Amino acid sequence: MSCHTGNCKGCQGCGGCGNGLSLFREELELLRCFAQSPFLPVACAAGAAEPVYLENGRDKAGNYAAAIALLQRKGLIRVDYDIPLKNFAYDGYETYPCKGSMALTANGIRVLEVLETQGVTGEAL
């Protein structure tokens, strides 16, 4: 596993240094959502960099913002605010002017396959 541009030596849990990949519960929940759908909705407020994912409830939006940022930093997902999902109503996202999509990267697909093969669940973390 490697970070975006090679082996990461900063050890932020990306797995690039060979120490293994660290995932928080919310990151694992999002990866499970990607297992169900290859593209997920994302939004952000005007001028804000914090991603918003509301599909699992508004009460978890703050936790998911951090998880999205971590998954993106680890090179497991791509976030594109300029590529909205076609035929997705974005119900609940009306107050967010920037509506886009998230998708797994090739590394994210590999990690998801390993997690599924090993039967990793949220309780195992």
Average pLDDT of the chain is 84
pLDDT in tens, the chain (125 residues): 344 445 545 544 545 555 789 999 999 999 999 999 999 999 998 888 899 999 988 888 888 999 999 999 999 999 999 999 999 999 999 999 999 999 999 999 999 999 988 887 655 44
Q: What is the pLDDT of residue 58?
A: 83
The residue range of the domain holding 83 is: 25-114
Question: Is 68 among the domain residues?
Answer: yes
> Does 19 fall in a domain?
no
CATH of the domain at 53: 1.10.10
pTM over 0.75: yes
Number of domains the chain is built from: 1
Backbone angles phi, psi at 7, to 5 degrees: -75, 120
Residue 122: CB partners within 8 Å, gap ≥ 6? 25, 28, 29
